[in-house]
Amino acid sequence: MQIKINEKNLTITSQNPLTINEIVDLLENFQFTIQKLNTSQNNYEIEVNKPIKNKELFTKILKNALLGKIPKKCKLYYFYQLDFSLKEINFLRALAIYQSQIMKFSYEFIINTYIKYSSFIKNPSLEIDTDNQSEHQVLLIFREIKKNIIKTNLEKNKETIAFKIDIKNFKHLLKGINPNIESFVYHNDFCGVHLRMSKISRGGIRYSQRVDFREEIKDLMTTQQYKNAIIIPNGAKGGFFIFDENPSREKIKKCYSLYIDALLDLVDFEYGEDKDFYFVVAADKGTSDFSDIANEIAIKRGYFFKDAFASGGKNGYSHKKLGITALGALTSANRHFLEINKNIFKDEISVVGVGSMRGDVFGNGMLMNENFKLIAAISSKEIFIDPNPDIKKSFLERKRLFENSLSWKHYEKKALSKGAAIFDRSKKTQKISNEIQKLINHDSQIIQTDELIKKLLKLKVDMLYFGAIGTYVKASEEINELISDKQNADIRIDANEIKAFCVCEGANLAMTNKARVEYSQKGRINLDAIDNSAGVNISDYEVNLKLINADVLKYTDIVIKKVLTQNIMQPLRISLDEKLSEEDIKEFANTLQNVETFNEVFKTFDSTKPLRPILAILLLYTKLFIKEKIDFFDEKYLKEYFPLEIDYEKHILKKEIAKTVITNKVVNLYGLKILKNFSTQKIINILILNEVLNLEK
């Protein structure tokens, strides 16, 4: 495309035809009125009502808008009139979108505020001069963002804009829990965030379909922070949102690639104490098969982590093939059954679940016991109900679905019990059999689909198994509309309505914190970060082995055994700590006041009773607390982490790994009581005593 300008006249020559309305609307956005317009063979001669100033910038903006590289109606013309450069304009647009994610104000309001106070935007050191409280907040946060930007990729002149912020310096001005380090990526097709609690942090990258994607990522980062208590890095989470409503898989991959590449622009590519060198990612919702894409980008860019950058790729541990998350979750939930002399992996256990046999956590989970009696399952598109399942037939059929990646609608009808059915969730109502009516205690053949799902979640079974994304349970006191997962608002139930003996959270955020506390007063539950920790644990092993060029696949069995140790020990420790008094809980909570994010997370529980979810969160934050406090280093603890023949001498995280091993050891053995009269010397004494008595055996 070529654009020529002479005073009030401009000529546009385009390879592809442009619509007259497109040209008129765009020029009107620049506050020009068209006097004449002649067209011939993709050539457009236009005369406007006044001379065109700043021709070079005007040409760049007009050309980018006509080519679709920047939105045609985003008030860029105002910034053009205020003599901002094209780079400044694009950066301000990115900042405005970012601010709309961290504040309650719309992008439109933020942009209008930028325009109204353009002098301040050019020079944020000026005094904020407005009586409007909302405008004042926008300008205040804008100044803090600009002041705390650590690094950008603007000098690279790429199609993505990325910047990294030291957000801990102003997160007291924001609501709720926030990260300490935050990166934002903007592109004409998408935008995304990456949130970290410290320089050494890790977590998955997801494709978010929520307009308030940062809120979703922030909630998950909080969970990741205490889930990561058992591994080396702190919590992190990333995600990107595509502006198209229904992007193709190829479009999602392209946006993911651009997002990852832009984030790497913000990383230090050399190791050092003062460097921000540690950046690793993992698969998550919508990106489960993208690890190799990320690793290819990292290798091409020369990032020294190479294929340790993204766990789970072709040279790493496939969570789905190993079934590690489900195995860890069921191992964790087995504590509930062991205490009533049953075994989750052998005995007949009745189950209602959320998920599909195609899924990793649900599919693998429902194959780990041939005697699981699956009564019902709710997936994103279907509802499976088998009132009186034949245990052997149903296991074989679930196995067939999993191995062939099939949904519930492909379930062989001959394997179903009388009255069983598979319903399409897109229908508003369902016609149910007498057997299903009896199962859910409903006196009509017709039932609303949402009501059917709710009744299934309330069934009296041995285990309610969450194996897919979504928040399905709130506390009775919580307001449904305020729960962040809007998609499942119509099927969400109250915790006091659950009749299952126990809940296993194979997926994150299946229940709110308050819901866990409410349910735990009559049922058995741990915490999502306790139940599904095995996935993040094995990924961390993979990264740490790859960083010393070890063949990770060679050590699969050893690593799985090490990972499952935490899924055995942590629920056991919670059971032992259930004997604590309320006074102990208060004392231990007070000790943890200075742990990052603890206060915000803990107060959502609103209880100091010795209930399992309360004890679980205390256990994990005790580990975070002790990892921070340990100030000694002994390489013998590295031997406990790595397979015996591994040479770990040059590992860049030797100190962090040893501290994590010590932390898990002493807290799993001694529980929350370690916080009483806490000192580093107390940890050393415990380690010595443990070696003498060999308590772990």
The Cα 184–Cα 214 span in angstroms is 10
Looking at the structure, tell me whether residues 421 and 501 fall in a common domain: yes
Helices (H) and strands (E) in the chain — how many of each?
26, 21
pLDDT value of residue 74: 63
Instruction: Express each pLDDT in 423-435 by its tens digit.
Output: 999 999 999 999 9
Positive or negative CA dihedral for 513, 514, 515, 521?
positive
Within a domain: 336: yes
Instruction: Express each pLDDT in 299-350 by its tens digit.
Output: 999 999 999 999 999 999 999 999 999 999 999 999 999 999 999 999 999 9
Within a domain: 94: no
Looking at the structure, tell me whether residues 19 and 152 fall in a common domain: no
Looking at the structure, tell me whether residues 271 and 360 fall in a common domain: no
Instruction: Express each pLDDT in 144-158 by its tens digit.
Output: 999 999 999 999 989
**Of the candidates 40, 73, 106, which is a domain's last residue?**
73
Query: How many independent structural domains does the chain possess?
Result: 4
Instruction: Express each pLDDT in 273-295 by its tens digit.
Output: 899 999 999 999 899 899 999 99
CATH of the domain at 39: 3.30.70
pLDDT beyond 60 at 696: no
Residue 686's domain comprises: 578-693
Lowest model confidence (mean pLDDT) among 56-70, 326-340, 346-360:
56-70
pLDDT value of residue 63: 87
B/e letters for 578-592, b = 16+ CB within 10 Å, e = fewer, are eebeeebbeebbebb
pLDDT beyond 90 at 31: no
Within a domain: 616: yes
pLDDT value of residue 396: 98
Our measurement of the distance from residue 489's CA atom to the centroid of its chain's CA atoms, rounded to an integer in Å, reads 19
The Cα 278–Cα 547 span in angstroms is 11
Looking at the structure, tell me whether residues 245 and 347 fall in a common domain: no
Looking at the structure, tell me whether residues 452 and 497 fall in a common domain: yes
pLDDT value of residue 73: 59
Looking at the structure, tell me whether residues 293 and 328 fall in a common domain: no
Any catalytic annotation for residue 237?
yes
**Of the candidates 308, 336, 358, which is a domain's last residue?**
308
Alpha helix (H) ranges present in 521-581? 528-531, 533-546, 556-577
Instruction: Report the pLDDT averaged over residues 643-667.
Output: 92
Instruction: Report the pLDDT averaged over residues 446-464.
Output: 98
Give the pLDDT band (50/70/90) at residue 71.
low
Three-point CA angle 457, 353, 376, nearest 5°: 75
The Cα 609–Cα 303 span in angstroms is 48
pLDDT beyond 70 at 233: yes
Looking at the structure, tell me whether residues 328 and 303 fall in a common domain: no
**Of the candidates 56, 73, 90, which is a domain's last residue?**
73
Lowest model confidence (mean pLDDT) among 45-54, 376-385, 501-510, 539-548:
45-54
pLDDT value of residue 554: 95
pLDDT value of residue 590: 92
Question: Which residue has better confidence, 167 or 29?
Answer: 167
Within a domain: 610: yes
Q: Edge-to-edge strands of the sheet including 161-166?
A: 149-152, 161-166, 181-186, 190-196, 234-242, 201-208, 280-282
Looking at the structure, tell me whether residues 369 and 518 fall in a common domain: yes
pLDDT value of residue 66: 85
pLDDT value of residue 266: 98
Looking at the structure, tell me whether residues 396 and 513 fall in a common domain: yes
pLDDT beyond 60 at 697: no
pLDDT value of residue 15: 87
Within a domain: 314: no
Looking at the structure, tell me whether residues 251 and 282 fall in a common domain: yes
pLDDT beyond 60 at 28: yes
Instruction: Report the pLDDT averaged over residues 674-680.
Output: 90
Instruction: Report the pLDDT averaged over residues 3-24.
Output: 89
Q: What percent of the chain has pLDDT over 70?
A: 98
Comparing CA positions, the residue from 278, 279, 246, 247 lying closest to residue 261 is 279
The Cα 564–Cα 533 span in angstroms is 9
Give the pLDDT band (50/70/90) at residue 72.
low
Lowest model confidence (mean pLDDT) among 55-69, 309-323, 615-629, 666-680:
55-69
Give the pLDDT band (50/70/90) at residue 695.
low
Instruction: Express each pLDDT in 518-536 by its tens digit.
Output: 999 999 999 999 999 999 9
pLDDT beyond 60 at 159: yes
DSSP code string of 305-370: TGGGSBTTSTTS--HHHHTHHHHHHHHHHHHHHHTTT--TTTS-EEEEEES-TTSHHHHHHTTS-T
Question: Which residue has better confidence, 622 or 81?
Answer: 622
CATH of the domain at 157: 3.40.50.10860
Helix, strand, or coil (residue 38): strand
Give the pLDDT band (50/70/90) at residue 399.
very high
Within a domain: 187: yes
Give the pLDDT band (50/70/90) at residue 136.
very high
Within a domain: 86: no
Looking at the structure, tell me whether residues 388 and 469 fall in a common domain: yes
The Cα 305–Cα 344 span in angstroms is 39
Within a domain: 141: no
Instruction: Express each pLDDT in 554-573 by its tens digit.
Output: 999 999 999 999 999 999 99
Looking at the structure, tell me whether residues 158 and 275 fall in a common domain: yes
Residue of 60, 237, 285, 665 with catalytic role: 237
